[in-house]
């Protein structure tokens, strides 16, 4: 079918992705498009006489399909909603109590630097006597101000997005269309002229089948991109606009989490916020937030600097949950839902070009996440608000959305904002983790207490430069012959290697209780709705098949959050099953081989696609 038969629609502003960033943008924009009597203050260029036509496309089948219970200072959100009260939002509470806890390794199976091992021995020896070490954990007596969230909110991002979305839709001044993935930006004469929606009625490879429906072209004077950490539209644009010099996205984390009905015996109060480090690996961070109704949102972050090729967030999360410090609260609880999602943790260093002719970027894809304070929601929201203020200014002045105008109205505003000031402080705060866990913690403290003036020097190698081979990783623990036999056995059974290796190096088996501790496959069924509507192309694509054939780590299989990437019994390119993919995007980051033409990318492409695991509680 020729391009000519593609349908086209004209709007004034087209938006990609509905997360907190777009929530902030559309909330502010729609309020500013009318005066206090509800009369439009600017006119649509495509529908004269009407207010500007604003449309937002969201990939997921629901606008509340975010993945995470979050804690947030909510400063920007509260500036937008000065009367906001936790009781107005479902699953939301004021932060009541905060704890940061160092977890010792009760199993002795994690990879710890010698210095850390020594420190743990000291804690065990003296801590128990002086009673500051209980349940294999040490509660920090003091939480640095840069980590504190009080007075903030804990809430479910899915519920929050739904609430904001219904307010925006209720204004009648913007439309939000879920279940509509955007394929890419439209480029015309060197400017962004809108977006193209994905083709439907195609096979896995994107070839037309019966019922082929080419994705529509949506033409707009302004395209706003807020497609999150692994958004393919923003990434596509980076190829065209190129990243600013020295900027890259080599730091990320995979967040795996669940929503849990707490057992009757649990005494943790509503609004309680817990952050942990030290276990199941020293540099895996954990979080637990208590929401109203005896429900907790909890999970772990597996960071980019965890140089273990056999990394399974799911099993790590189960070991974390069963750590004595947590298990005493969680034993007897029931999993309500489960999910996973990536975080882009490069912060300001991962910032792309924020605006160009006809487009602007907001939210996590624009580098808003603050890696010192560990917060992303409010920063994403605030970036959307700042853009909307600039856009309203340009519209009211009748100025076009050129690069120069957007730089003045948006980028300059953002540079002068609290968002930028805090992002600059945070920029190098986690650099030390690239060198080691202790260096990482020291680095965060140095940055935090010096307000960004002193930082630990960093190491930002790309995954293919830093992830060791499986043989190198376990050289002192598993003889090479045995490792080879384990590989062959797992390969023959079509299984990933991680369980066999974790069992072998001393991690205890997880004893399933059928409620909170269940198999990965059961979690997939229980987690929410896994959507994989037919007629869409596969969104996870292995770029160079020869590279995959030669790849020994096959980390894409080891870390896949949904067990959607599996061993090919014939030994070659891994297999991908769209019906199990939860759209976490972790395969894009974790693949340990470079893209054939761009060393900043991996050999996995994460394209626009429908589906994923959706639970509005997340
Ligand atoms: C497990 C976990 C825990 C977290 N905890 C916290 C916390 O406690 N506090 C905190 O402040 N932050 C936390 N964060 C970070 C926070 O969730 C993000 O920073 C925030 O959601 C970013 O908002 P965003 O709008 O930029 O992007 P997103 O929330 O990622 O939204 C982007 C949207 O774009 C859509 N999209 C992507 N591609 C397309 C396409 N091609 N077409 C159409 N739509 C598309 C996506 O489906 C998504 O809905 C956490 C993140 C995770 C994963
Ligand atoms: S996608 Fe990456 S990690 Fe997976 S087999 Fe291919 S090269 Fe290896
Ligand atoms: S295949 Fe899907 S579930 Fe697996 S890591 Fe990639 S995005 Fe996540």
Taking residues 576-585, report their average pLDDT.
91
Look at strands 217-225 and 191-197 and give their pairing: antiparallel
Torsion, Cα 464 466 472 476, to 10 degrees, reads -160
- C-alpha 73, offset from chain centre: 18
H helix or E strand, kind and range, residue 188: strand 182-188
- Which of 33, 17, 81, 5 minimizes the C-alpha distance to 226? 17
pLDDT one-digit tens code per residue, 249-267:
999 999 999 999 999 999 9
**For residue 532, which ligand has an atom nearest its CA?**
3
Taking residues 342-357, report their average pLDDT.
95
* pLDDT in the model for residue 528: 61
Percent of the residues in the chain that have a pLDDT greater than 90, as a whole number: 79
Instruction: Let me know if residue 319 belongs to a domain.
Output: yes
Query: Ligand 3 centroid vs 556 CA: distance in angstroms?
Result: 8
Do residues 58 and 164 both lie within one domain?
yes
**Band of pLDDT at residue 344, cut at 50, 70 and 90:** very high
Do residues 608 and 499 both lie within one domain?
yes
Could you give the CA distance from residue 543 to residue 594 in angstroms, rounded to a whole number?
10
Residue 312 near ligand 2, beta carbon < 6 Å: no
Instruction: Let me know if residue 128 belongs to a domain.
Output: yes
Which residues does 35 contact at the CB level (< 8 Å), separation at least 6?
41
Do residues 595 and 495 both lie within one domain?
yes
CA distances from 391 to 129, 318, 319, 388, 537 (A): 62, 46, 48, 5, 35
pLDDT at 414 over 70: yes
Taking residues 403-410, report their average pLDDT.
98
Residue 583 near ligand 3, beta carbon < 6 Å: yes
Could you give the CA distance from residue 554 to residue 84 in angstroms, rounded to a whole number?
47
Residue 591 near ligand 2, beta carbon < 6 Å: yes
Taking residues 596-601, report their average pLDDT.
93
* pLDDT in the model for residue 491: 86
- Which of 396, 312, 296, 407 minimizes the C-alpha distance to 357? 407
Residue 556 near ligand 2, beta carbon < 6 Å: yes
pLDDT one-digit tens code per residue, 182-227:
999 999 999 999 999 999 999 999 999 989 999 999 999 999 999 9
User: Which ligand 1 atom is nearest residue 227's CA?
Assistant: 34
Do residues 259 and 328 both lie within one domain?
yes
* pLDDT in the model for residue 618: 66
* pLDDT in the model for residue 64: 76
* pLDDT in the model for residue 524: 84
Do residues 125 and 262 both lie within one domain?
yes
**DSSP codes joined into one string, 518-581:** --HHHHHHHSSEEE--TT---SEEES-HHHHHH-SS-HHHHH-TTS-EE--TTSSSPEE-GGG-
Could you give the CA distance from residue 580 to residue 256 in angstroms, rounded to a whole number?
15
Taking residues 529-550, report their average pLDDT.
89
- C-alpha 102, offset from chain centre: 24
Our mutation pick for probing the ligand 3 site, out of 181, 555, 581, counting the most ligand atoms within 8 A of Cβ, is 581
Could you give the CA distance from residue 479 to residue 121 in angstroms, rounded to a whole number?
28
* pLDDT in the model for residue 570: 80
Could you give the CA distance from residue 29 to residue 41 in angstroms, rounded to a whole number?
12
Query: Ligand 3 centroid vs 65 CA: distance in angstroms?
Result: 16
Whose Cα sits closest to atom 15 in ligand 1? 376
* pLDDT in the model for residue 314: 96
Instruction: Let me know if residue 565 belongs to a domain.
Output: yes
Question: Using an 8 Å Cβ cutoff, are 288 and 298 in contact?
Answer: yes
Average pLDDT, the chain: 93
Do residues 369 and 256 both lie within one domain?
no
User: Which ligand 3 atom is nearest residue 604's CA?
Assistant: 6
Do residues 491 and 546 both lie within one domain?
yes
Residue 587 near ligand 3, beta carbon < 6 Å: yes
* pLDDT in the model for residue 118: 86
**Of 418, 439, 460, at which residue does a domain stop?**
460
Query: Residue 559: which domain range?
Result: 465-614
Residue 584 near ligand 3, beta carbon < 6 Å: yes
Query: Ligand 1 centroid vs 19 CA: distance in angstroms?
Result: 6
**For residue 560, which ligand has an atom nearest its CA?**
3
Among the residue ranges 112-116, 316-320, 358-362, 373-377, the one predicted with the least confidence is 112-116
Instruction: Let me know if residue 41 belongs to a domain.
Output: yes
Query: Ligand 1 centroid vs 609 CA: distance in angstroms?
Result: 16
Beta bridge partners of 298: 258, 288
Question: Using an 8 Å Cβ cutoff, are 224 and 380 in contact?
Answer: no
User: Which ligand 1 atom is nearest residue 21's CA?
Assistant: 25
User: Which ligand 2 atom is nearest residue 574's CA?
Assistant: 5
* pLDDT in the model for residue 1: 46
Do residues 494 and 435 both lie within one domain?
no
Instruction: Let me know if residue 2 belongs to a domain.
Output: no
Taking residues 569-598, report their average pLDDT.
92
Do residues 255 and 272 both lie within one domain?
yes
User: Which ligand 3 atom is nearest residue 230's CA?
Assistant: 7
Do residues 317 and 279 both lie within one domain?
yes
Residue 563 near ligand 3, beta carbon < 6 Å: no
Percent of the residues in the chain that have a pLDDT greater than 70, as a whole number: 98
- Which of 165, 57, 52, 79 minimizes the C-alpha distance to 394? 52
> pTM (2 decimals)?
0.96
- Which of 153, 174, 152, 151 minimizes the C-alpha distance to 164? 174
Instruction: Let me know if residue 1 belongs to a domain.
Output: no
Could you give the CA distance from residue 581 to residue 601 in angstroms, rounded to a whole number?
21
Look at strands 97-103 and 272-277 and give their pairing: parallel
User: Which ligand 3 atom is nearest residue 580's CA?
Assistant: 3
Task: Give the CATH number, domain containing residue 566.
Answer: 3.30.70.20
Query: Ligand 2 centroid vs 235 CA: distance in angstroms?
Result: 20
Do residues 139 and 274 both lie within one domain?
yes
Our mutation pick for probing the ligand 3 site, out of 338, 585, 608, counting the most ligand atoms within 8 A of Cβ, is 585
**Of 323, 342, 361, at which residue does a domain stop?**
342
Measure the N-to-C terminal CA separation of the chain; round to a whole number of Å: 40
**DSSP codes joined into one string, 290-357:** EETTTEEEEEEEEETT---SS--HHHHHHHHHTSHHHHHHHTT-EEEEEEEEEEE--GGGG----EET
Do residues 193 and 331 both lie within one domain?
no
- Which of 528, 568, 589, 20 minimizes the C-alpha distance to 313? 589
Query: Ligand 1 centroid vs 229 CA: distance in angstroms?
Result: 7
Torsion, Cα 548 550 551 554, to 10 degrees, reads 60
Our mutation pick for probing the ligand 1 site, out of 92, 376, 388, counting the most ligand atoms within 8 A of Cβ, is 376
* pLDDT in the model for residue 529: 61
pLDDT at 447 over 90: yes
Could you give the CA distance from residue 19 to residue 419 in angstroms, rounded to a whole number?
18
Task: Give the CATH number, domain containing residue 413.
Answer: 3.50.50.60
Give the residues surrounding ligand 1 with Cβ less than 6 Å away: 16-22, 57-60, 66-68, 70-72, 157, 181-182, 226-229, 231-233, 255, 257, 299, 341, 343, 363-364, 369, 375-378, 380, 608
Beta bridge partners of 187: 192
Place of tokens 């804990």: 154
Task: Give the CATH number, domain containing residue 94.
Answer: 3.30.9.90
Instruction: Let me know if residue 3 belongs to a domain.
Output: no
Taking residues 102-129, report their average pLDDT.
87
* pLDDT in the model for residue 435: 87
Domain count across the chain: 4
Taking residues 37-48, report their average pLDDT.
91
**Of 342, 359, 381, at which residue does a domain stop?**
342
Instruction: Let me know if residue 365 belongs to a domain.
Output: yes
* pLDDT in the model for residue 125: 85
Could you give the CA distance from residue 177 to residue 58 in angstroms, rounded to a whole number?
6
Query: Ligand 2 centroid vs 594 CA: distance in angstroms?
Result: 9
* pLDDT in the model for residue 527: 63
Taking residues 325-338, report their average pLDDT.
95
């Amino acid at each position: 079918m020729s391009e000519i038969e593609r349908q086209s629609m004209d709007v004034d502003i087209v938006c990609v992705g509905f997360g907190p960033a777009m929530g902030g943008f559309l909330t502010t924009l729609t309020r500013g498009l009318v005066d206090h009597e509800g009369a439009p203050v600017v006119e649509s260029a495509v529908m004269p006489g009407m207010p500007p036509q604003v449309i937002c496309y969201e990939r997921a089948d629901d606008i509340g399909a975010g993945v995470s219970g979050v804690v947030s200072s909510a400063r920007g959100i509260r500036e937008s909603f000065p009367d906001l009260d936790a009781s107005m939002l479902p699953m939301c509470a004021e932060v009541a109590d905060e704890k940061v806890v160092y977890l010792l390794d009760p199993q002795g199976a994690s990879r710890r630097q010698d210095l850390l091992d020594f420190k743990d021995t000291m804690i065990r020896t003296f801590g128990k006597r002086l009673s500051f070490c209980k349940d294999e954990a040490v509660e920090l007596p003091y939480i640095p101000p840069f980590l504190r969230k009080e007075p903030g909110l804990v809430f479910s991002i899915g519920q929050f997005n739904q609430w904001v979305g219904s307010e925006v839709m209720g204004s009648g001044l913007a439309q939000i269309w879920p279940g509509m993935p955007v394929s890419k930006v439209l480029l015309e004469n060197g400017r962004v002229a809108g977006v193209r929606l994905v083709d439907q009625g195609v096979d896995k490879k994107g070839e037309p089948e019966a019922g082929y429906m080419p994705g529509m072209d949506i033409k707009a004077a302004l395209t706003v991109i807020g497609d999150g950490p692994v958004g393919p539209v923003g990434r596509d644009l980076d190829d065209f606009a190129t990243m600013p010099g020295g900027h890259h996205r080599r730091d990320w984390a995979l967040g795996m989490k669940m929503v849990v009905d707490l057992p009757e015996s649990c005494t943790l109060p509503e609004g309680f916020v817990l952050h942990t480090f030290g276990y199941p690996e020293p540099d895996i961070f954990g979080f637990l937030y208590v929401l109203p109704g005896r429900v907790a949102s909890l999970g772990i972050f597996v960071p980019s600097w965890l140089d273990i090729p056999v990394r399974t967030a799911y099993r790590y999360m189960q070991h974390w949950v069963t750590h004595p410090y947590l298990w005493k609260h969680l034993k007897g609880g029931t999993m309500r839902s489960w999910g996973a999602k990536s975080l882009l943790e490069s912060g300001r260093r991962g910032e792309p070009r924020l605006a160009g002719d006809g487009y602007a970027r907001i939210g996590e894809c624009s580098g808003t996440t603050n890696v010192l304070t560990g917060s992303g929601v409010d920063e994403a929201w605030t970036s959307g608000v700042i853009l909307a203020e600039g856009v309203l200014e340009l519209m009211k002045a009748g100025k076009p959305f050129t690069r120069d105008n957007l730089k003045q109205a948006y980028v300059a505003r953002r540079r002068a904002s609290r968002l930028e000031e805090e992002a600059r402080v945070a920029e190098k705060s986690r650099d030390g983790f690239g060198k080691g866990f202790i260096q990482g913690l020291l680095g965060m403290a140095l940055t935090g207490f010096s307000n960004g003036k002193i930082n630990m020097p960093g190491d930002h190698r790309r995954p293919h430069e830093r992830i060791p081979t499986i043989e190198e990783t376990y050289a002192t623990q598993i003889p090479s012959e045995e490792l080879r036999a384990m590989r062959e056995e797992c390969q023959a059974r079509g299984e990933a290697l991680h369980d066999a290796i974790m069992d072998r190096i001393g991690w205890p088996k997880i004893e399933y209780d059928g409620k909170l501790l269940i198999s990965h496959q059961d979690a997939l069924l229980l987690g929410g709705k896994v959507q994989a509507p037919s007629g869409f192309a596969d969104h996870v694509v292995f770029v160079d098949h020869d590279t995959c054939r030669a790849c020994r780590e096959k980390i894409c299989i080891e870390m896949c959050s949904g067990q959607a990437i599996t061993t090919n019994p014939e030994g070659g390119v891994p297999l991908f099953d769209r019906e199990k993919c939860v759209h976490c995007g972790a395969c894009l980051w974790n693949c340990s081989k470079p893209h054939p033409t761009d060393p900043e990318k991996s050999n996995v492409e994460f394209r626009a696609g429908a589906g994923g695991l959706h639970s509005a509680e997340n």
